[in-house]
Structures are given as C-alpha cells and as structure tokens.
Amino acid sequence: MPAVVVVGSQWGDEGKGKATDQLGERVDYVVKFNGGNNAGHTVVIDGETYALHLLPSGILTPGVTPVIGNGVVVDLEVLFQELDALSERGVDVSKLRVSASAHVIPSYNRTLDRVSERFLGSRQIGTTGRGIGPTYADKMSRVGIRIQDLFDASILRQKVEGALENKNSLLVKVYNRRAVDVDAVTEELLSYAERVRPMVVDCSLELNRALDEGKTVLFEAGQATMLDVDHGTYPFVTSSSATAAGACTGSGVGPTRIDRVIGVIKAYTTRVGEGPFPTELDNEDGERLRQAGGEFGVTTGRPRRTGWYDAVIARYAARVNGLTDFVMTKLDVLSGYEEIPVCVAYEVDGERVDEMPDSQTAFHHAKPIYEMRPGWSEDISEARTFEELPARAREYVEYLEDISNCRISAIGVGPGRHATIVRHDLLD
Ligand code: GDP
Ligand code: IMO
Ligand code: MG
C-alpha cells in the first residue's frame, strides 16, 4: 500500500495529526501538501503533548522522513522555532525535507492578513492571521516568493520589489499603514537561506523515486474538506486545496499513484472562524460538547463552535475526496447522553435536501433534519476492539456508517496514540 492520503472531512481539527502519527511507524514519508502554520495538530505520545503547526505530524516518529511539499506556504521563522522547540524535547528533526517550490510567507502578508480582516468588518472570515490567504493570492497572481528564490539575492530583491509595488500602495492608501521597505524584507528572507538550504529538495522527484522503490508515502492534509478553496463553504474557507486532489498538485505525485484516501471525521462537528454551520449548537449542549471534547483551537486558542454529526457533510466529503475509509475520532466524548441527534438531511426553504446544496445561499438556509439515536452511559476510553464497545455505541457507529457512504475503519476513543479501535487495516 504505497501512497495514502489523510484528509479532514469537516471543518478541521478532526484529529488528522493523531491519525497520521498512529500510522507513522508503518510509513517511510509523511508529506504536508497544503496550508501552513494556520494548522494546529495535537499529538499525545506516552502522556506527552506535542502541538504542531507547520511541520508534518510524521516528524514525531523516528525513521519517518517528513516533507513540506510545494503546495505549502512556509513561514520560515515559525519553521525554525518549531524545529528548535522539538529538538529541545529530544525529537530528531534532521530528516526534514522542504520543496524548493514551496512559497514563503513574507512578513508583509501577515500584516495584510490582519488589516484586511479588520477592513472586512462584519464580513470577516475569522482567519488565523498567519498570512496564509495573501500568500496564496500572491502565488496565483504570480508575485509570490519561493524557497528557491532565497538562494539568488538579486532575483529575490527583484521579486520582493515587484510584490511590494502594489502592496505598498494598498497599505498606505487604503489601509493607512506605513510602506514596507524592500531591502529590509529582502535581508530578512536572506537571513533564513543558509539554515533552510540543506533541507531543500525536488519534492516530486524524491517522492516518485521513493514510490518506485516500494516505499510508503502518507500525505497529510491541513484544514479540511469544508475549508477547501474549491469545495468548501466559500468564501469562509482557507486559501488552499485541502481535499485529496491537493495531495497531487501539492507534491508533484500523480493521481494514478494514490491507493487510498482516508477521511478523518469527528463523531460530532466543530468549526473555528466564521461561516455557515447547520448543526451548530449555540446553547448548553454546545458548551457541553466543547468542554467534554476540549474544543479550543491549537493555533489561536479560540473556542471552537460545536454541533451534532452532519451526515450530509460526511457524504459530501466521501464524494469530493473519493474516500476509501473514514477514521472516526472522539467517540468517547459522546458518552453520557441519553439520546444523540444525528443530522441526516437538511430542510432548505421548506424542502428536504439530501445532498450538499450547490449554492451558498441554500446552504446558509439549511436547517438540520435530525434522527435521534440512543446514547450510552459507559466510559469507552479503554475499549480497544469494536466488541468491547457498549452495544449502543456500536449501533451509533454502524448507523453513521450506513448514512455516510463510506466504511468507518477506525474509531478514536481518546487522545493518546493507542486509544483507537481498528476495524479494517488502513495500510493493507
Ligand atoms: P487536527 O488539526 O485534525 O490534527 O486536529 P487537532 O489536533 O487540532 O484537534 C483534535 C484534538 O482531539 C486534539 O486535541 C487531539 O489530541 C484530540 N483527539 C484526537 N482523537 C481523539 C479521540 O479519539 N478522542 C479524544 N477524546 N480526543 C482526540
Ligand atoms: P487544522 O489543520 C480549523 C480556518 C480559520 C478561518 C479560515 C481561514 O488544524 O484542521 P486562514 O488563516 O486559513 O486563512 O483562515 O479557516 N482554519 C482552520 N480551522 N482547523 C484548521 O487547521 C484551520 N486552518 C484554517 O479559522 O475560519
Ligand atoms: Mg487542528
């Protein structure tokens, strides 16, 4: 089973980091292919908690080669900080590879992310403020700075100058900020060059060769299906391709080489930032889920919005990613409910809708249609086989599997590395 993609099936924070980490011992490469340090993955190993943002979760597993693909946007200061922090904790980070074609997040894009959000007022997206959107915008506008540009000082200066031509007008005339100095930015970027140089590779060549040799490559998405710039709840999305297809464009590995696509999905739903969320619980039930699930952002510390499981979204994620398996996380958080509502379809302007509406207006109007499922009272965090789960927890999973159009191959019952029930091997 050489090439496997792991994606988020909802609005992020489904537990992709834990799922990747868990498969880590059986893979050779873990590739981050989209996003940047807007992501936040918490991985718990032997009671030790690691919070990762920019680095692929595979960095925590000895033997794995972690790769930052060309589809990622890299804040080099954050990269070095994260590497230093992990080194101090005894993690070997020497194997990290970074694509020469990945884009760099210059400091002016962090500024622009924040001021443009403020400018949007009530229409703001609630970004993480890390400069992600402006950097992808630069990439598409062909004024971005790539890792390889750091190794040619005169080209770099020209590119920074080109990028700042428009941005300085915007900053000064529209946002009433000070202009950014071309030389200062160029020097800052150049100061990172020597440290990153030994990590730089041709990502496509290295990964395709690895696959030719029969190595196992795991592609780890940041963000999630509903935050994907094409398939998510646009404009309340991130600016990259967080769905499975992004693994190909973001790494230079073709779709015919991908064998399996795993969607990580919570047994309920959360969202950070603005935008529509049909099953959101803006009440005590939502607060209970937030507290029981520890639903606070790893990156910004914001409380996550919470709601019941939404099978319309699950079916949509199965479709747009071509999922072969779901990994369902946080089933343990649902212990103690008498009944658990599950959204099976929406009502949109008086009509029942079973599939994700194709229009943003319709999605904003979508009201969940719930089926009530019996809950269970037992603590399930020690269960390690499906049979060890209480009958009603098994029925809940089987019901969700029935209505979500893809088998549920693993079930998370706690944050720890081994707190998982495997029903079907994910790499076989
Ligand atoms: P990611 O962004 O998809 O990697 O997910 P995050 O790390 O942002 O958020 C998932 C959170 O849930 C983390 O704090 C994990 O430690 C935790 N987690 C993952 N799986 C489980 C599970 O099955 N049960 C519980 N209780 N926590 C889990
Ligand atoms: P992981 O990988 C949850 C959200 C932000 C905001 C929107 C756009 O941990 O699942 P951006 O800074 O990307 O321009 O913000 O996307 N967002 C996430 N929400 N988990 C994430 O990553 C996210 N990355 C971005 O809150 O609504
Ligand atoms: Mg996260």
pLDDT in tens, 113-128: 999 999 998 899 999 9
Q: In which residue are the tokens 């041709």 written?
A: 202
CA proximity to 168, closest of 184, 179, 158: 179
Pocket test for ligand 2, best of 124, 225, 227 (most atoms within 8 A of CB): 227
DSSP summary character for residue 296: B
Chain Cα centroid distance, residue 371: 29
Locate the ligand 2 atom nearest the alpha carbon of residue 127 and give its number: 15
| 3-state secondary structure string across 188-207 | HHHHHHHHHHHHEECHHHHH
315 phi and psi angles, rounded to 5 deg: -65, -40
**Residue 384 DSSP SS3:** coil
Rounded to 10 degrees, the C-alpha dihedral 399/401/404/408 comes to 150
Residues 24, 250: Cα–Cα separation, whole Å: 20
Q: What is the pTM of this model?
A: 0.97
How far is 136 from 143, CA to CA, in rounded Å?
Answer: 10
CA distances in angstroms from 305 to 23, 117, 187, 369, listed in the order given: 29, 20, 41, 19
Give, to the nearest 10 degrees, the angle between helix 182-196 and helix 76-88: 40
Q: Pick the atom of ligand 2 nearest to 300's CA.
A: 26
Residues 235-289 pLDDT 10s: 999 999 999 999 999 999 999 999 999 999 999 999 999 999 999 999 999 999 9
Task: Give the span between the Cα atoms of 353 and 312, in whole angstroms.
Answer: 9
Which residue of the set 13, 75, 149, 332 is catalytic? 13
Which helix (H) or strand (E) covers residue 81, if one does?
helix 76-88
**Which ligand is closest in space to the CA of residue 418?**
1
Contacts of residue 320, defined as CB under 8 A and 6 or more positions apart, other chains included, come to: 225, 228, 231, 243
| Shortest-distance ligand to the CA of residue 37 | 2
Our answer to whether residue 41 is catalytic in this structure is yes
Pocket test of ligand 1: the residue of 11, 16, 18, 60 to mutate, having most ligand atoms within 8 Å of its CB, is: 18
Give, using CA atoms, the residue closest to atom 3 of ligand 2: 12
| Smallest CA separation from ligand 2 atom 26, residue | 273
Query: What residues contact 224, with CB distance under 8 A and at least 6 apart?
Result: 7, 8, 9, 10, 11, 12, 13, 14, 232, 242
Tens of pLDDT, residue by residue, the chain (428 residues): 699 999 999 999 999 999 999 999 999 999 999 999 999 999 999 999 999 999 999 999 999 999 999 999 999 999 999 999 999 999 999 999 999 999 999 999 999 999 999 999 889 999 999 999 999 999 999 999 999 999 999 999 999 999 999 999 999 999 999 999 999 999 999 999 999 999 999 999 999 999 999 999 999 999 999 999 999 999 999 999 999 999 999 999 999 999 999 999 999 999 999 999 999 999 999 999 999 999 998 888 889 999 999 999 999 999 999 999 999 999 999 999 999 999 999 999 999 999 999 999 999 999 999 999 999 999 999 999 999 999 999 999 999 999 999 999 999 999 998 999 999 999 98
Cβ of residue 332 lying under 6 Å from some atom of ligand 1? yes
Residues 87, 80 contacting (CB under 8 angstroms) = no
pLDDT of residue 1: 63
Distances (CA, A) of 74 to 143, 167, 192, 417: 15, 20, 12, 27
